[in-house]
Amino acid sequence: GAGVSQSPSNKVTEKGKDVELRCDPISGHTALYWYRQSLGQGLEFLIYFQGNSAPDKSGLPSDRFSAERTGGSVSTLTIQRTQQEDSAVYLCASSFQPGQQETQYFGPGTRLLVL
């Protein structure tokens, strides 16, 4: 079956612009996670969605970052007024259910470059 898909694959933007990154989880998966991978910070958690519940935003680095998940499926991560330090690979993952025992399956990521 189809895995986690993300779009765009690559995004180049100018400092100060807004960007939207999209994640389409595996069908039937209720939990969705966003992570960021950068040279300096490694892989770090950003935000978590479980079904239609309020997301856990504890990992978002600033209020310029926001995310939503519509209909319990597709998620969009928005970065406003992008900065050069936002350049990273943004990875989305989904799992069948929430919980520590569940395996998260990752998408191919979106490579964001802020000039």
- Give the footprint of other proteins on this chain (CB under 8 A): 31, 33, 35, 42-45, 48, 50, 56, 58-59, 89, 91, 93, 95, 98-109, 111
- Using the structure block, give the residue that is written with the tokens 């690979």: 89
Closest contact distance (angstroms) between CB of 7 and other proteins is 14
Paired strand residues for 31 = 50, 95
Measured distance CA(110)–CA(107) in Å, rounded: 9
How do 10-13 and 110-114 pair as beta strands? Answer: parallel
Q: CB-wise, 81 or 97, nearer to other proteins?
A: 97
Tokens in use for 98? 């929430």
Residue placing its CB nearer to other proteins in the complex, 18 or 62: 62
Handedness of CA 36, 4, 21, 54 (dihedral sign): negative
| Smallest distance, other proteins to C-beta of residue 29, A | 12
Residue 70 or 101: the one with the smaller Cβ distance to other proteins is: 101
User: Whole-number minimum distance, CB 22 to other proteins, in Å?
Assistant: 16
**Is the bond leading into 8 cis (omega within 30 degrees of zero)?**
yes
Closer to other proteins at the Cβ: 59 or 72?
A: 59
